Amino acid sequence: MGWKLKTVQTILSILAFYITFAVGEDEEPRSECADFNNMTWLEYHQQGSKLQVQYLLLTRKNTDCASLFSQDFLSNNTYFNSSQPTKIIVHGYRALGSKPSWVKQLAQALLRVQDANVVVVDWVYGASLAYNMVVENYKEVAIQISVLINQLQNHGCKLESFHFIGVSLGAHVSGFVGTLFKGKIGRITGLDPAGPMFKRADTFDRLDPSDALFVEAIHTDSDYFGISISVGHADFFLNGGMDQAGCSRSRSTSMYSYVICDHMRALHVYISALNGTCPLTGIPCSSYEDFLKGRCLGCPGRCPRIGLLENSGLTVFPLPQPKKLFLLTTSAPPFCAHHILVQLEVFLLDKSAEVQVILRTGGHPETEQRLRLQTDGTMYSRVIAHPVPLCEIDSIQLKNTGAHFYRQGDIHVVSVCISEFPSVGEVEPLCVKKINVRRGSPWNHDFVQLCENY
């Protein structure tokens, strides 16, 4: 990044301030509704280093009004149903002691998909110190959560019915709860698991596949606030896991857009996936570059999908060792993009060249990709994200866009083909052959394609 703050601690302090405004503040809670602890640095240090973990419960019976929940209230709670699955949401670092404003949105998205108990872990007090001190606290938080889990077991809940959803540092809290229960927790979802102080940590100290029967993670900021290694059975690396579409790289934009937009994108994408507007499917591949070159186009069985499908839709048993899954997204909800593979074959060139490929669909922004052509190759391919499926693409355009250091004149194209993956059934690519692309004279071709044929 062009601009660096002096320390990770300073960055993380700013991060927590802007997360408060990332999704929009919750409405003022009604007096009878339970809410997060909210405190300032001064209040925290006046009260001392007490974790003061509390739990909030939301169900389909009280989606807008959380109730306090604990082992003491369990017998008298009219909302909790031990025969239903239980989702446990664990937030991460809160430098300024502010409550996470996204919690209700996530809880309600979960409840729309599944009739469940949603328990929100409020550990704002313990998460509001210097980052290194918060990391020292996270295992104690996990221990306190494990006490509650034991009590819930005594009331008929089964370990495999628990699904932890941990955001950033909350992912590692969830992982340690799983460690305490020897990996018998049903599922853990890590939303951009925290990277600082965890990238080189032992598996005992961070989220890993042994922490639950199924562990998944969504990575969106693995070069900065998130972790860059695989930590689950299925690890979704969105846009390579680093720079996200729509998150500014310019310091002139808002601090949120520049500092934590990438990190929080995992949360927003997960909520969008729960809303079920369109599928967010990952493709296994050894590297992001291989994925972009079209070297990984499908899965042995059904491709894993972000959301609440059992094991993310994986049908392979035993579950695989940590596997990287790649997918492209758009810049705004619902974030789903169609993976379009562009394949270009040219006759051998005398000099290097550059071709711009543009896909157009009425009513949608055009998609473009530049391919650099060398004198020692004839086959070029690239995966691009397009807002609509293959059969709805109206036209394709090729431009010979070489600058001063590209001296090739005409480019003689053997064929240009576009296809979509992963596909259901056999879908033939759309191809055009024998094209001559001249400098300054774009080549265009209209597609007449009916979606009913697919």
The model's pLDDT over 384-416, given as tens digits with 9 standing for 90+, comes to: 999 888 888 999 999 998 755 556 678 999 999
Domain count, the chain: 2
- Taking the alpha carbons at both ends of the chain, their separation in whole angstroms is 43
**CA distances from residue 281 to 113, 349, 415 in whole angstroms, order as listed:** 18, 37, 29
The region of weakest confidence among 42-51, 113-122, 189-198 is 42-51
Is 3 contained in some domain?
no
| pLDDT at residue 26, rounded to an integer | 41
Residue bearing the bigger pLDDT, 253 or 227: 227
345-359 tens-digit pLDDT: 999 988 888 999 999
The region of weakest confidence among 6-15, 242-251, 252-261, 309-318 is 6-15
Q: Which of 192, 208, 235, 262 is catalytic?
A: 192
Question: Is the separation of the CB atoms in 334 and 278 below 8 Å?
Answer: yes
Reply yes or no on whether the pLDDT at 28 is more than 50: no
| pLDDT at residue 40, rounded to an integer | 55
Note whether 284 and 414 are same-domain residues: no
Q: Which of 128, 168, 222, 312 is catalytic?
A: 168
Is 38 contained in some domain?
yes
The region of weakest confidence among 32-41, 133-142, 257-266 is 32-41
Note whether 347 and 317 are same-domain residues: no
Reply yes or no on whether the pLDDT at 234 is more than 50: yes
313 contacts: CB under 8 Å, gap ≥ 6 = 302, 303, 304, 305
pTM of the model: 0.88
Question: Is the separation of the CB atoms in 65 and 54 below 8 Å?
Answer: no
Q: Annotated catalytic, 192?
A: yes
Is 179 contained in some domain?
yes
pLDDT cut 90: percent of the chain above it: 61
300 contacts: CB under 8 Å, gap ≥ 6 = 316
Reply yes or no on whether the pLDDT at 30 is more than 70: no
Last residue of a domain, one of 296, 327, 358: 327
Note whether 141 and 266 are same-domain residues: yes
Is 1 contained in some domain?
no
d(CA 99, CA 57): 16
Local confidence band at 316 (pLDDT 50, 70, 90 cut-offs) = confident
| pLDDT at residue 452, rounded to an integer | 53
Question: Is the separation of the CB atoms in 397 and 358 below 8 Å?
Answer: yes
- Reading the block at residue 449, the tokens are 């394609």
Note whether 32 and 61 are same-domain residues: yes
Average pLDDT over residues 267-277: 93
| pLDDT at residue 201, rounded to an integer | 93
Is 217 contained in some domain?
yes
| pLDDT at residue 441, rounded to an integer | 85
Average pLDDT over residues 275-300: 91
Is 424 contained in some domain?
yes
Note whether 286 and 351 are same-domain residues: no
Local confidence band at 35 (pLDDT 50, 70, 90 cut-offs) = confident
Reply yes or no on whether the pLDDT at 224 is more than 80: yes
Residue bearing the bigger pLDDT, 36 or 395: 395
Average pLDDT over residues 112-121: 97
Note whether 320 and 348 are same-domain residues: no
Q: Which domain range does residue 118 map to?
A: 8-327
Element (H, E) at 58: strand 54-58
DSSP string computed for 273-289: HHHTSS--B-EE-S-HH
Q: Would you call 412 helix, strand, or coil by DSSP?
A: strand
Query: What CATH number does the domain containing 399 carry?
Result: 2.60.60.20
Note whether 383 and 294 are same-domain residues: no
| pLDDT at residue 427, rounded to an integer | 67
141-198 tens-digit pLDDT: 999 999 999 999 999 999 999 999 999 999 999 999 999 999 999 999 999 999 999 9
Residue bearing the bigger pLDDT, 429 or 104: 104
Residue bearing the bigger pLDDT, 267 or 26: 267
Q: Which of 219, 263, 339, 386 is catalytic?
A: 263
Of the candidates 349, 358, 371, the one whose C-alpha atom is nearest the C-alpha of residue 443 is: 358
d(CA 292, CA 279): 19
Query: What CATH number does the domain containing 321 carry?
Result: 3.40.50.1820
Note whether 344 and 323 are same-domain residues: no
Question: Is the separation of the CB atoms in 125 and 119 below 8 Å?
Answer: no
Is 397 contained in some domain?
yes
**Mean confidence (pLDDT) of the chain:** 85
Last residue of a domain, one of 300, 327, 354: 327
Is 361 contained in some domain?
yes
Reply yes or no on whether the pLDDT at 440 is more than 50: yes
Note whether 215 and 364 are same-domain residues: no
Note whether 28 and 64 are same-domain residues: yes
Q: Annotated catalytic, 263?
A: yes
Last residue of a domain, one of 327, 357, 389: 327
Note whether 189 and 308 are same-domain residues: yes
Note whether 342 and 323 are same-domain residues: no
Reply yes or no on whether the pLDDT at 221 is more than 50: yes
| pLDDT at residue 126, rounded to an integer | 87
